[in-house]
Structures are given as C-alpha cells and as structure tokens.
Structure 1
Amino acid sequence: MSIRRIHDTEEFANNLDEEREVTAEAASDNSLDGTFSDSEQISENDAQPQSRYRRIVMDEEDSLDISYVENEQNLSVIPDVEEVDRDEGSFEAYLEVLEEEGVAEHVSVIEDQEDETSNDEVEIHEEMEGIEDNQDNKQSSTNAESSASKENEPVVDSKVTNEEEESFTTCSICLEPWSNLGEHRIVSLKCGHLFGKSCIEQWLRGSKASSKCPQCNAKASVRDLRIIYAKCVKVEDRAERQRLMEEISRLKKQNQEFEKERAMQKMKSQQDNKFIQELQQQLRMLKESTNEMGASVSGSTIGFTKKYKLGLFQTIDMSSRNGCCRVMAFNQWMNMLVLSTPSQVEMFPGFGIKKINTLDFKVENFYHLHSKQIRDLAFNPDKEDLLLSVSFDQVAKVTNVASNATVVSYSLGSPLWSCCWSKCNSGCFYVGTSSGQIHHFDTINNTENPMRTYNVKGSGPIVSMYYVQANADKGFYCSGLLVTRLNSITFEELTTSGNITHDFFIEGTFTHTAFDPVSLHMLVTSRPTDRNHHVSHKIYSLKTTYNENEHRNVVVVHEIHSFQGSTTMKVIERNCLTTINEDKTLLAIFNEESTNSVKVCDVSTSSPIQTVKPGANIIDILPFKGPDGEYVAMLSEKSLKTYKWINRL
C-alpha cells in the first residue's frame, strides 16, 4: 500500500493536459506509455509490472474519485507526487504530517496487488521529487490568496435541524453515534455513504450473494471499505457519564456517612442530657444534705420513710367518656409514660395509648392499637422504643413509639391477658392467654407463628407474668417466668428442651403479682374469700435450693409479711413493690378500694408509713424515676395522678 499526495490541483490539471498531448505523440511513435517529460524516454525493454491498480482520490468537496489502471506507469501523469510505503509505523506518522500541513484531503490511496516494484517506478519517483520543490512555492502563494478571499466572504449562519444533525453523527444501520477509534469508527463505501465499521462489515457479510449499500443499493463488498480520518466526529462522551455516575455513588456514600454521624450525635446528645440531669439531681441532694448536716448526723439511724413522704405533683384528666383506662408502662430511656385509654371519637372506636413526657408532663395525641380493651403493656428492656401490647381482641402487637409504626402483629385464638419481654434475648417475648397458655414469639427468627407454647398449671386466665433472670450474686440460678393464674402461682423454668414447672403451693384467688428484681421479692394480691373476708397482700421472697433427689435446682418461696386490705375488690387492680435508691428501703404500695385510698408500707417493718387519698379507685400503680426525683403514678379509670417523694421536714 502507498500514499500519493497532490500538492496543487490547478497546476495538476494543466500538467495533465500537457502530459496527455505528450502521451498521444508518444503513442503515435510507438514509444513507451506514460512518459514523464520531453527530455526522458523509458525503454521498451524495461520490465513492466503486470498489475492492476485502484486509485482513490478525495477532493476538496469530500467526494471520492475511484478509477482503475492496468499498471503503475498510468499514474505517472500525476505531477508533484510523493510515495510512502504503508507499514505499521510510517503510515500513521505520515498521516499526522499531512494533517499538520492541511493537505490531508488531497490523498490518493493505491492498493498494490504485487509487492515487487520495478526499477522504472523507482526512477519515476526520483524525478517527481525534483518537481516537488517548485510546486510547494506555488502552493503556498495560492493558499494565502484563498485564505484572504475567505476572510472577506460574509459568514453564513447555517441552521441544521435535529434530524439532520443526528444523521451526520450516527450510523444509519444501528442508529448509534460514530466513534473515531475502535470497532465502530467511520468507514465509507465506494458510493460515498458513511457507516460504522462493525455494522457495515456485518451487513455485507450477511448478504454475500447480493451485497449492496444500505442507503443507495449500489453494489458493495467488504474490500470496498475505506477508513475515514475525519477532522470532527461527534462521539458519545461515555467518560463524562461514567464520571457523573461515580460522583453520584460517592455522594450517596457520603450521605450515608452523614446519616450515621447524625444518629451517633443524636444518641450522644441524649446521653449527655441524661448525665446532666443526674448531675443536677446529685447537686440538689448535696445542697439538701449540706443544709441538714447537723440533723442527718444526729439522726443517722432514721430511715428513708421517716424523712420523706408522697406529695401530689400533678393531676391529668384523661377525658374518657366511659372511663376504661387500664394499665401503664414507663420508658426511662425516652422519659415516657404510656397508658391505655379508649378512643374519644365515636366514628373510630377502639383502644390505644397516650404518651406523657415526664420532663414536662405534656400529653401527646391518642394512638390507636386495638379494637378491644388493652390488658397489659411492656417496653423492651434493650430496644427501648418497642412497646408490646396485648388485648381482649386476641392480638399481640409490637409498636415503635418513636414513629407510631406497627413493627409486628400476631393474632391468636383466645383473649390475651398479660405479656413480658425476655431479658436474655431482646427479640423474644411471651404472652399469656385466657385459657392458661403461654406463647413464645421470636421477632428475629420467626415472625409468623409462636416458636413454642407452654401449658401452665391451674385454672382461669394468666393475670400476670414476669420474666426473672438468673442472678448468681443473689443465689438465684434459674431463669424463667413467674406466672400467676386465678388459683395458682408457679415458676416456669425455661430450658432448651421446654419448661420445668416449680409449684409454690400457695392458696388463694389471685388477681396480680408484683415483682422486684433487686430484692427478689414479690407482692401477691388475692380477693376476699369465705375464710378471709379481706383483700390480702402478702410478701414472698424467691430462692433456689438444690434438690439432691432430682439433682437440679428448685425454686421456692418464703412468706415474709402479710398486709390486710379492704373488704371489697370489684376491679382487678395492679399494685407494686419499689426500692428507694437512697437506702434501698423496700416499699409495698397497694390500693384500698373500700376507702378510695392507697397505702404505703415498709416491708422490713411491715408497718404502714403513709395513706394517700387520690379520691378515686386506683386500678394501676407504677413507680418511676423522673429527671429530678422519684415518682409514683396512680391511674384510675378517668384520671392520672402523679405523686413525688418530698422531704417531710
């Protein structure tokens, strides 16, 4: 393959006419075809290459001129020509030189069919090199004149439609943009139409019998393809698109990092606020102790119950039409007290909760949970924003109180009375039914059906249930559920194979059992009976002993004290045990229905220390720690009264 360059097309036309006249005279004299000058003749004995050549010339208007000659001497009429062998290195370098000189459009590509070149051809090229210098001078002057004339010409603003512009920049076969490199670079057929290289090759090879141009149906073949080195090619900028996609991915990752950082800062802020509140409480206590140092030193043996009493802090009217407020639960991590209440809108009946912020005791809006009365509420000890609720509508539901969204809901075959979370696995909880069964759910591994179901000894519903964790420091080595039914109290030890029942053999008609995990004491409340005409409140301690016959630990209870209550109990009430942090004094707080009062008793001395008059029958009592002290919430059917421990002096 060789490249021939024409320096001046006008002078080439003049020289072509002169050479044709000389050629005609030489033909008449039987001389050799294709003489280069009048002064030099090529001998008839010189070897002539028997080859057929294809000449392709692209003129200034970007049109292709294709012709065939029988040998290379017929190309000698082209004046001022340079020939460069097309190998892998020099061919690409020569094209770059042509583009720098601005004459790349005047190119003839000659495809040789024989590799050998005759000696006559070498002599012809040497003579043409001598003519090239004169042509370069004329070419430069001509270019200067043409450029000056172009500067004087008016600029015409051409408007191209979107369809025309798209046809200039896309392959008509695949309708995709051309590229200047690669498999889809621009090539042309001998008819002049442009295509992507890979597309037109596939087109022509797919129809060998009648291969034609896809646009004009002119005959074409793969060997007619010529690569176009265009000055301007509109190429799809995939690099910019890739850069933008990477930028989007980077921004998404950065946003995720910011969200994590925001969550961490929010948690840290909550912890700091909690720490500040504790410091403020300690400061107040130090001030009080400093002011009363003399009295506290002289009376160091005086207990907590001699120094403090419950004082009414706030009363909140729940505005319930028919009452029916029932149970409460406290979330210390969120400083939130929740209580069950019926809906106040007749069009949307049912039961739900109201949230009270214990920092300012503001009541938030009602949130619907169940269609029937709620019997129990419990917060998750590890994931504090999860609230478990059970109802007579046979549904157990886990709700996120921060977003008021239902996390999971289970529908069972009987009304539900009680519930509690596992303290060993934050994803497990237990619900007690009216038929005396306990259903074990795992929200992490199984969210559809209960993992296990335990049958509890006794009759009636499971009125209360509390998860007790093993505590080796206190000599308690079993983990399980403290379960209360109407006529029995048992400890259900939970093992990998099932449950082991520890029966306490306590007689009575039980309504509720309160448990204090610090002291391992429980307060059992039972209705009046024929033998005992008063409500009884008995204190028991939980212990484990080793049974040598059964070779295992056995949970047993010991009665410590018994308090006599009122003579009537029309509504099942929930009482409490609480430990005051200052001196670990254990207090029993229970309701007196006949007098609409609440009694506070010291368990260590079994003596009452205070009687509170809330003015209504209290059905749930819940102690909690606020930001500035210890409180006791007392819930009736229509109101909530909050009491605070205050100094007696």
Structure 2
Amino acid sequence: MTPEKPGGGEPEDEGNCCPICFEEWTSSGNHRLASLKCGHLFGQSCIDKWLKGQGGKCPQCNSKAKRQDIRVLYAKCLKVVDTTERDRALQDLEKEKEGRRRSEMEAAQIRMQYQMTVGDNNKLRTEIAKLREQLQNVRSQPSQMSINSSQSNVSENPTSTQSDGQFILDKTIKIWDGGNCRVMAYSPSLATLVVSQPSASSLFPGFGIKKISTLDFKTSQYLTIHSKTIRDVSFHPNVDDGILLSCALDKTVKMTSVISNAVVQTYETQLPSWSCVWNADDRNFFYVGMQNGRVLEYDIRNTIEHVQELNTEGSRSPVASLQYVPSDMNAMFRCGGLLVGQLDKVSFYEKKQDQHKLHILPVEGSLSSQCFEPNTRHLLCSFKPSQKHAAVRHQLCEMNCVNISADPTTLDMSCSCDIVQTFHAGRTQTLLSKSVLLPHPTMENNMLVCAGEESTQSLHIWDCGKSQLKQRLRTDGAVLDICAIKTNNMTYLAALTDKILKVFKWC
C-alpha cells in the first residue's frame, strides 16, 4: 500500500516531507522527525500508525520494522549534498595512485633485474677470461695432455678398445640434498644444461631450475619458476633464443628466458600438465600433454590460451611423453608430426597443414618413456613390467609410411612402425624414468640405447649394432632422466637421480 497525498499536488520541498502523508515534519510535537533502523525518515505519528496497521514493514523498503525501532531525530533542517562528482573524482584519484604504485614497483623490479644482469655479465666475462687462459695453457702443452688422457682412460676402463670406445665417469654433481629433482634440458647454443629442483629457501618456496655450464660442468644459478613439481622442460631444437618451455603440476605452462632469468610468458591450464615439446618445423607452436590425456597446441603469438586440442577421444590416461617428429622429404619416413605417449598407448598425429591425422602405433604395454631420433627416424619406447611382460622392455622401432590414396597424385599416408629390436632389463620399475636413443659417438649408422635400471641403481647402455648390453654404469640412485651432450668435440652422457647428476664422458 502506497499512501497518496490529498489533492494530488507535488510538495514544494520533497526533502522536508513525510513520505506517508506528504506533509512537512516538525521539530516538535506528534509529527516530529523520526527514523527506522533501515534509515528512512518519517513523521513520528505517521510511522507509528503505519506500523500498527501495515504488518510491521518499512513503507519505503519493505524491511521488517517494529514500533520499538522508531527513533526520534533532533534536527532543525535536513539537506542532502550531491557528492557524486566528488566521489567519482576520489575514485579516479585512488586508481591513479594505484597505477603509480604499480609503475614504481615495476620500475624497481626492472632496475633490480638490470643490476642482476650486469652482475651476471661481469661474472661471465671473468669466467670467459679464465677459460681462455686455461685453453691457452692446454694448447701450449698438447703432448702432455694426450699422455695424461691416455693414462686416465686405461686406469678407468682397462677393457676399453680404441676402435669402439665407451663411457667413463667424469663428474658427480650434487644438485639438491633434499631430493625431488626430476627432469633436464640442454641448450647447445648456450652450452647450458638445466635441471629441475625444489627451491633451497623456505622463504621463497617453489620449484625451478639450476643452470650448469657444459664447458666445465659447474653449477651457476637457481631460478624459481613454478609453485609445484615441474614435470617436463624443453628447449627449441632449432631456435637459439634461450627460451625454456616448462610445465608443472601447478596448472601452468611457462616460457622462461635462461639468459635474463625471467619468466616471459605464462599460460594457465585447467588440469596439471605432464609433458611438453616444441614444434621443430614451426618455431611459433608448442604442445602440452595433460593429465586427462588431451594434448593442447599453443601459438606463442596468442598469449592467452591454446589454439587447438588433440587426442580428445579414447583413452584418458595421462600423456607421459611428447616427441615432435620433424618432416624430412629426403627420408623414407618423410612425415612430420607429434608422437603422443600415454601410459597405455602411443599415437602419431601427422601434421598436414593446419590439420592433424591420427595414427595408432602397434606397440603395447605400460609406457614410461619415448624418444625419437630424427637422423635415423627411429623411435625408442620403454615399458614398465606388467602381467604380460615380466621385465622392463626397451623397444627400438623404425617409423614407416605408405601412400594409401587411389590417386597417385594425392598423398594419403598411413603411418606405423616396425619393432626392430627389444632390449630387456630388470623386473622392477616404479618411477617414470626417461630413456634415450642416440647415435653412436664413433661408429656411423649405429645407435646406443641408454636407460636407467632401477633395481641396481645403474645406467645400462645397449649397442644396437651388436644387439647386446655394452655397459653398466653406477649412478648411486634411480635414474630419472638422461641427456646426451656434445660440446668441445666431446660426447657426454648426463644421468639424473633425485639428488645428484652423474656425467659420463665418451673415451
């Protein structure tokens, strides 16, 4: 019920009128100014009568009210000042102050990064000067170095032969005593190996990378990147920009410059990511394997979200490994695309312009790792023990493709793989350990399979040409990741456990 003013005329001053009777309230008497808990103003006698007969609600806002809520106000005159413009100006002022504070903070961070960069540059200049001095000393004594190297090889490996060669332990590098180191990536252009590890500071928790120079295998800096465990890291194989791609369980994918020690791009995902890899044919694209089996394709020119989803049907098993196959028109297997290794299957997505064609590869088992060797176009798949296969298996596969198009002028490839060799290892594997397929350092057209042996805490190396186990190298821990390094005309093999890094040199 809304009260109406007798006569229907408008009051001269609505601000001094009772909204029930539309008469001016008084400073004394029965119609003096009063209010309810909600704050609305009335004449005392009017609101008293209203609450008696209208069910105990405010006539203005319908909020619950009682006669006991009536409060007499002692005021001679009421006037509301319009402060809209002032309030808006104050809000704009606060926004400007906040923007200035942010700008000052960013400027301070940039100044700090600049100072750190200058310090790093000075350190690098000092290291370069030392290395040049060492190199000059080595060049001045070539004969003595050759004799010492030969004697060292004989003492470390009495059974080695000059025609074949083998790996010997060169360095043992402590990464983090607390463990939880997991993955590695190598940048030949920067001569830098990065290893993931937890933060060493309780004040700045998280997970990041430790940089190791492959010129002398000395650790340098640690950089925090993610808030949870890092699952995979990758440098672009053909672009020397020092950008490290990383994915983690904190539902983020990040691009980090290991030159400036700064995160340059962050993508958020709905689920934790398990693996990542760059597109070797197009520097603008990379792929991320998710916990739910899907693969997200990103374009670095789109800084907000992924541009395409792959592997959206079938198994929801996590994507444990991603490998990109660069196209090679001179090879027998010329197709380019993405190898998707889930825990229960391996798929190949052939890249055809802006589309991907799915091919399921004929390998089976509980996948732990996959590695593609681009020169020989071979694929290494490693499988954990299962009910059907009691031992760890490392299967060497040769990729192949056949044109199934009825029109000879049209290419419609059917891609698959043939299992060439199978190497068996121990009967125990609980970790997702990575294995590596690499060209033989001294024998052309031959390859080596390198994989960790969890039960004996060692690194096993198989010779594919001889189809036999070549070496067992002690690692003093279960091997989680392996990385082949070529620097200064030498071949090294780095094996990472959860705490230390073992570096083996080919001799």
TM-score normalised by the chain length of structure 1: 0.52
Residue 399 of structure 1 is aligned with which of 256, 274, 279? 256
* Matches of 1:384 and 1:534, distance apart in 2: 42
Contact 2:362 2:417 (8 Å CA) reproduced = no
Give the aligned partner of residue 368 of structure 1: 224
Q: Which runs of 5+ in 1 are unaligned?
A: 1-265, 293-302
Contact 1:623 1:631 (8 Å CA) reproduced = yes
Any idea what the Cα deviations from partners look like across 1:300-325, whole Å, max 9, x if unmatched?
A: xxx9895311111011111332x100
Give the aligned partner of residue 424 of structure 1: 281
Give the aligned partner of residue 601 of structure 1: 462
Give the aligned partner of residue 154 of structure 2: none
Contact 1:477 1:553 (8 Å CA) reproduced = no
Contact 1:331 1:384 (8 Å CA) reproduced = no
Q: Which runs of 5+ in 2 are unaligned?
A: 1-123, 151-159
1:557 matches 2:417: yes
Give the aligned partner of residue 629 of structure 1: 490
1:339 matches 2:195: yes
Distance change (3 Å), C-alpha of 1:568 and 1:376: same
Q: Which has the higher contact order (CA 8 A, sep 6+)?
A: 2
1:545 matches 2:402: yes
Contact 1:492 1:501 (8 Å CA) reproduced = yes
> 1:116-265 residue pairs with structure 2 within 5 A?
none
Give the aligned partner of residue 18 of structure 1: none
> 1:574-593 residue pairs with structure 2 within 5 A?
574-584=434-444, 585-593=446-454
Percentage of matched positions with identical amino acids: 30
Task: Classify the secondary structure of the residue corresponding to 1:473.
Answer: coil
1:473 matches 2:341: no
Task: Classify the secondary structure of the residue corresponding to 1:481.
Answer: strand
Any idea what the Cα deviations from partners look like across 1:177-203, whole Å, max 9, x if unmatched?
A: xxxxxxxxxxxxxxxxxxxxxxxxxxx
* Matches of 1:304 and 1:521, distance apart in 2: 27
* Matches of 1:527 and 1:506, distance apart in 2: 13
Task: Classify the secondary structure of the residue corresponding to 1:307.
Answer: coil
Give the residue type in structure 1 aligned to 2:271: S
* Matches of 2:503 and 2:380, distance apart in 1: 22
Give the aligned partner of residue 204 of structure 2: 348
1:614 matches 2:478: no
Contact 2:164 2:442 (8 Å CA) reproduced = no
Any idea what the Cα deviations from partners look like across 1:595-633, whole Å, max 9, x if unmatched?
A: 111111111221111111122111111111122410000
Give the residue type in structure 2 aligned to 1:324: N
Distance change (3 Å), C-alpha of 1:314 and 1:532: same
Give the residue type in structure 1 aligned to 2:327: A
Contact 2:362 2:416 (8 Å CA) reproduced = no
* Matches of 1:307 and 1:559, distance apart in 2: 26
Contact 2:281 2:327 (8 Å CA) reproduced = no
Give the residue type in structure 1 aligned to 2:429: M
1:509 matches 2:370: no
Contact 1:436 1:459 (8 Å CA) reproduced = yes
Task: Classify the secondary structure of the residue corresponding to 1:472.
Answer: coil
Task: Classify the secondary structure of the residue corresponding to 1:449.
Answer: coil
1:410 matches 2:271: no
Q: How many residue pairs get matched?
A: 359
More helix per residue: 1 or 2?
Answer: 1
* Matches of 1:385 and 1:497, distance apart in 2: 27
Moved over 6 A (4+): none
Any idea what the Cα deviations from partners look like across 1:120-155, whole Å, max 9, x if unmatched?
A: xxxxxxxxxxxxxxxxxxxxxxxxxxxxxxxxxxxx
Any idea what the Cα deviations from partners look like across 1:225-265, whole Å, max 9, x if unmatched?
A: xxxxxxxxxxxxxxxxxxxxxxxxxxxxxxxxxxxxxxxxx
Give the aligned partner of residue 433 of structure 2: 573
Any idea what the Cα deviations from partners look like across 1:84-142, whole Å, max 9, x if unmatched?
A: xxxxxxxxxxxxxxxxxxxxxxxxxxxxxxxxxxxxxxxxxxxxxxxxxxxxxxxxxxx
- Whichever of the two has the greater Rg, that structure is 1
* Matches of 1:636 and 1:343, distance apart in 2: 17
**Structure 1 position 404, deviation (Å):** 0.7
**Structure 1 position 589, deviation (Å):** 0.7
**Structure 1 position 405, deviation (Å):** 1.4
Contact 2:402 2:415 (8 Å CA) reproduced = yes
Any idea what the Cα deviations from partners look like across 1:144-173, whole Å, max 9, x if unmatched?
A: xxxxxxxxxxxxxxxxxxxxxxxxxxxxxx
1:440 matches 2:314: no
**Structure 1 position 503, deviation (Å):** 0.8
Any idea what the Cα deviations from partners look like across 1:329-368, whole Å, max 9, x if unmatched?
A: 0000010000100011122211000000111222112100
TM-score normalised by the chain length of structure 2: 0.66
* Matches of 2:163 and 2:388, distance apart in 1: 36
> 1:448-459 residue pairs with structure 2 within 5 A?
448-455=304-311, 457-459=314-316
Give the residue type in structure 2 aligned to 1:540: C
* Matches of 1:519 and 1:561, distance apart in 2: 15
Moved more, 464-473 or 578-587: 578-587
Any idea what the Cα deviations from partners look like across 1:259-281, whole Å, max 9, x if unmatched?
A: xxxxxxx9xxx9xx99xx9xx99
* Matches of 2:283 and 2:354, distance apart in 1: 20
**Structure 1 position 394, deviation (Å):** 1.1
> 1:31-110 residue pairs with structure 2 within 5 A?
none
> 1:486-525 residue pairs with structure 2 within 5 A?
486-525=343-382
Give the aligned partner of residue 127 of structure 1: none
Give the residue type in structure 1 aligned to 2:430: K
* Matches of 1:424 and 1:310, distance apart in 2: 33
* Matches of 1:429 and 1:497, distance apart in 2: 14
Distance change (3 Å), C-alpha of 1:549 and 1:485: farther
* Matches of 1:471 and 1:320, distance apart in 2: 44
Give the aligned partner of residue 222 of structure 1: none
Contact 1:372 1:391 (8 Å CA) reproduced = yes
Contact 1:304 1:582 (8 Å CA) reproduced = no
* Matches of 1:370 and 1:492, distance apart in 2: 29
* Matches of 1:631 and 1:432, distance apart in 2: 29
* Matches of 1:630 and 1:328, distance apart in 2: 17
* Matches of 1:502 and 1:284, distance apart in 2: 54
Distance change (3 Å), C-alpha of 1:344 and 1:556: same
Contact 1:317 1:640 (8 Å CA) reproduced = yes
Contact 1:502 1:555 (8 Å CA) reproduced = yes
* Matches of 1:304 and 1:561, distance apart in 2: 25
Give the aligned partner of residue 641 of structure 1: 502
Task: Classify the secondary structure of the residue corresponding to 1:610.
Answer: strand
Give the residue type in structure 1 aligned to 2:376: S
* Matches of 2:453 and 2:176, distance apart in 1: 24
* Matches of 1:384 and 1:588, distance apart in 2: 30
**Structure 1 position 566, deviation (Å):** 1.0
**Structure 1 position 471, deviation (Å):** 1.1
